């Protein structure tokens, strides 16, 4: 028996990656890393002074499913956390939507394929909650702020 597309972890992860790449990388020009949380992305010949490390956390599959998404916002050459605050505001803007009555963003969910076009599903993610850490500084002077986003969606399990 195969899983419904709305209950597939691969579809959830691919859809969130697509949303992040389409918006934060393509529109805003922010480097993203999905493998290494706090490591500077390795971009040959380019000094990276702001990036986001994205980590998929626990997932609960149910009729109303839940996924924890940790975003590690990182800056360098950042006096008084000013650029980190700007990065936070940009990311927060993509995780909220003031045109919605609850103020939270909707992220489309897709059935992803390796060799054919993706199909948008009838369900999608709603950002339920955003929990922010205080900013902190690492030994290499990287400034970091963690945003933990709780995403919910309807799934057929």
pLDDT digits over 122-132, tens only?
999 999 999 99
Contact in structure between 17 and 25 (CB atoms under 8 Å): no
Classify domain 5-38+46-154 by CATH architecture: 2-Layer Sandwich (3.30)
pTM: 0.92
Give the pLDDT confidence score for residue 142 in this predicted structure: 93
């Amino acid at each position: 028996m195969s899983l419904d597309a709305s209950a597939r972890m691969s579809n959830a992860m691919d859809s969130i990656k697509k949303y992040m790449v389409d918006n934060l990388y393509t529109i805003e020009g922010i480097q993203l890393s999905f493998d290494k949380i706090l490591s500077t992305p390795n971009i040959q010949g380019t000094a990276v002074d702001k990036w986001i490390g994205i980590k998929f956390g626990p997932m609960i599959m149910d009729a109303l499913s839940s996924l924890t998404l940790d975003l590690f916002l990182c800056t360098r050459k950042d006096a008084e956390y000013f650029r980190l605050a700007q990065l936070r505001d940009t990311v927060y803007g993509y995780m909220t939507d003031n045109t919605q009555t609850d103020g939270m963003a909707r992220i489309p969910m897709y059935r992803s394929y390796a060799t054919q076009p993706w199909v948008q599903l009838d369900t999608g993610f709603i950002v339920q909650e955003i929990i922010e850490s205080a900013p902190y500084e690492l030994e290499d002077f990287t400034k970091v702020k963690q945003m933990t986003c709780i995403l919910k969606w309807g799934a057929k399990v």
